[in-house]
Structure 1
Amino acid sequence: MVLCGKRIAHYVHFVHRRQNRPSEQLIRLTMERFRTTFTLIDNSHPQRRRTVRTEEALAAVQRSIEEDPEESIRHRAQELDLCPSTLWKILRKDLGLRAYIIQIVQELKPNDHQVRRRFVEWAQNEITVVPNFHKQILFSDEAHFWLNGYVNKQNCRIWSNGNPQVYVKTPLHPQKLTVWCALWAGGIIGPYFFKNDGGQNVTVNGDRYRAMITNFFIPELNNHDVQEMWFQQDGATCHTAHATIDLLKDTFGDRLISRFGPVNWHPRSCDLTPLDYFLWGYVKS
């Protein structure tokens, strides 16, 4: 046994000759494994046996989906004692299910379609007269950046044979940072972070929005050629106070796209602004 022990020690040293010197505990464990099993191969972690798509397995998966459609494939495979690849085939090929990703969208009201159509027709007419009209619009908006986590849409799947229409509850008053930007063909104006005099994060109201326009936005416009630029904002209450509309008209005249403005911006139309369908998602990702 002394000779065998020396040979085992030499073997371990040979395996680890390109790395750090093996510890004494590793050598002792290797020698003990050889004494008890007469082999140096570690069989303490047997490979998972392959499973087949039997009728019993299909029924078990079906019951599991009905009880909890949101569980991951890995956890479900462990509970059902199935290979993950077998479970995936049962879900996709045998049960015909799909993994739906959570999407955050605006709910359109019945009259929104007609209002949106009128605006698009107006924009098309302007582009007919001025081909680069869409490049002369300053699109603006705020976004909340949550500081206490979010729903990871990439890792959330719900297995179902139809759209489950699931709603995810979120805290009523989570910590957040409110950021404003203006985006146009020439670049981005901003970001502007809404904070109070003490440097604490705050949300937007009419006074803070007008202060941002006066102290930040209008001075920034002096660095750009915006003589013929249009300004767009959505219909948020903080944007549409009479004092705010008058302030924007003093700067842009009739080139204002806003609720209560010369050109009406229709509600629930975030998909028509490059900030909502590109910028905020890109930054948050």
Structure 2
Amino acid sequence: MDGHIKWKSNWAPEIQGYLHGNSYLNFLQNDLPELLEYLPLRDLQNMWFQNDGCPAHYARLVREYLNQEYPGRWIGRLGPILWPPRSPDLNPLDFFYWGYLKDRVYSKPISTLDELRQNITQATDHINGRRYARRIKRSFLRRCHACINAGGQQFEHLL
């Protein structure tokens, strides 16, 4: 493998209604494994899981599942490794990906669910085509080193 994840181009979970503990658990159990199926076994065995402070992400049944699937290797509210909610300094998805994705998806008014899905697909294809994942990884590693050098204290001024 060349270091890039090969995604199924037609894969998309069917999300309806509001996100809650049961629907998020369903995603973790049924959809996430399909997303990760192309990762090498070694990467899967060493993978850590990170949640943010979304209430569905720390529902009791979700935490129990994560404790079973990622024992001592998940980060999140009420998890074995606590992570401050909405902490963008070490979360590449928060400090870049979601904002950039939303800017592209909502650049024009959307009137249908199919239009929204099409915009999301086009935006993610654009991001993946520009190899932003590699840039995000480099930025994340730079932020981790700055955090370590600052002894876990505030470090944005060191970037």
Q: Aligned pair in 2 of structure 1 residues 280, 210: CA closer, same or farther (>3 Å)?
A: same
Alignment of 1:190-269 (within 5 A): 192=12, 195-196=15-16, 202-225=17-40, 226-269=44-87
Larger proportion of strand: 1
Q: Tell me which stretches of 4 or more aligned residues in structure 1 moved more than 6 Å.
A: 188-191
Alignment of 1:81-100 (within 5 A): none
Give the equivalent residue in structure 1 for 2:118.
Answer: none
Larger proportion of helix: 2
Secondary structure class of the residue paired with 1:227: helix
Q: RMSD in angstroms over aligned alpha carbons?
A: 2.6
**How much does 1:187 deviate?**
4.8
Give the distance between the partners of 1:192 and 1:282, measured in 2 at CA. 20
Which amino acid is the alignment partner of residue 280 of structure 1?
A: W
- Structure 1 or 2, whichever has the larger Rg, is 1
1:206-260 Cα deviation digits (max 9, x unpaired): 1110111111002333321311011100122101111101111221111111111
**How much does 1:194 deviate?**
5.3
CA contact (8 A) 2:74 2:81 kept: yes
Give the equivalent residue in structure 1 for 2:98.
Answer: 280
**How much does 1:188 deviate?**
8.7
Q: Aligned pair in 2 of structure 1 residues 186, 252: CA closer, same or farther (>3 Å)?
A: farther
Segments of structure 1 that go 5 or more residues without pairing to the other structure are 1-184, 197-201
Q: Aligned pair in 2 of structure 1 residues 192, 246: CA closer, same or farther (>3 Å)?
A: farther
**How much does 1:270 deviate?**
3.2
CA contact (8 A) 1:234 1:267 kept: yes
1:32-88 Cα deviation digits (max 9, x unpaired): xxxxxxxxxxxxxxxxxxxxxxxxxxxxxxxxxxxxxxxxxxxxxxxxxxxxxxxxx
Q: Percent identity, please.
A: 34
Segments of structure 2 that go 5 or more residues without pairing to the other structure are 104-159
TM-score by length of 1: 0.30
TM-score by length of 2: 0.51
Between the two proteins, the alignment pairs up a number of residues equal to 96
**How much does 1:268 deviate?**
2.6
